[in-house]
Amino acid sequence: MSIAEATQSIKNRRSIRKYKPDPVPDEVIRDIVDCARLAPTARNVQPWVIGVIRDQKLRSAIADLAEYGKFIRHAPVCFTVFVKEDEKYFMEDGCAATMNIILAAAAHGVGTCWVAGHKKDYVSVIRDLLSVPMGYTLLSLISAGYADQTPDPQKKSLDEIVFFDRYE
Ligand X SMILES: Cc1cc2nc3c(=O)[nH]c(=O)nc-3n(C[C@H](O)[C@H](O)[C@H](O)COP(=O)(O)O)c2cc1C
Which of 113, 126, 139, 144 is in the footprint of ligand X by CB under 6 A? 113
Residues touching ligand X: how many (CB under 6 A)? 11
Residues 6+ away with beta carbon under 8 Å from 140:
80, 81, 94, 95, 98, 114, 115, 116, 117, 118
Nearer to ligand X (CB atom), residue 35 or residue 72: 72
User: How many Å apart are CA 57 and CA 65, to the nearest integer?
Assistant: 13
Considering only the stretches 10-18, 38-46, 85-93, 156-164, report the one whose residues sit in contact with ligand X under the rule CB under 6 A.
10-18
User: How many Å apart are CA 74 and CA 126, to the nearest integer?
Assistant: 18
Site string for ligand X, 52-81 (x = CB under 6 A): ----------------xx------------
Residue 129 near residue 58 (C-beta atoms within 8 A): yes
Residues in the chain, overall count = 168
* Half-sphere exposure at residue 153, Cβ-oriented, CA atoms within 13 angstroms: 9
Which of 9, 14, 107, 147 is in the footprint of ligand X by CB under 6 A? 14
Which of 19, 90, 114, 122 is in the footprint of ligand X by CB under 6 A? 114
Considering only the stretches 23-31, 84-92, 112-120, 127-135, report the one whose residues sit in contact with ligand X under the rule CB under 6 A.
112-120
Residue 97 lies near ligand X (rule: CB under 6 A): no
User: What minimum distance in Å lies between the beta carbon of 150 and ligand X?
Assistant: 10
Q: Rounded to the nearest 5 degrees, what angle is found at the Cα of 92, between the Cα atoms of 130 and 104?
A: 70
Binding residues vs ligand X (CB under 6 A):
14-15, 17, 68-69, 113-116, 151, 153
